[in-house]
Homo-oligomer: A and B are copies of this chain.
């Protein structure tokens, strides 16, 4: 039983075929996947899969911290599997390739600074970097 299946069960959720397929696809992907894309890919193996299930599964996974929703250039949403803990992504604007990185001291310092200057108590942050991966540079 894989780590995320363990976590699912621990939280009182069932390990089902659609959930296995969605997580499998996300874990294997280097790029963010949209609900639609996940649907089409997963349906190859699970003939009568419903798109609704994809949405529900992604919502569940996100609530458990297994995946993370990223905001693509055009305004659409994609999902990426995340390793345990808090991370952010750099996403290639050309090929979609994504790499995780931890929010380091720099970000913590920035947040502390903003809290001091605005009086806001900051509870969450959304940080995403967009650019070109090594492969796509110079093309």
Chain A interface (Cβ < 8 Å from any Cβ of B): 69, 71, 75, 77, 90, 92-93, 99, 101, 103-104, 106-107, 109-111, 113-115, 117-134, 137
Contacts and interface: CB of A to CB of B under 8 A. Distances in A.
Contact of A113 (B106, B113, B124, B128): B106
Contact of A104 (B71, B110, B130): B110
Q: How many copies does the complex hold?
A: 2
Contacts of A117: 101
Given A77-B75, A104-B113, A110-B104, A122 B69 contact: no
Contact of A120 (B92, B103, B114): B92
A93 B124 CA distance: 9
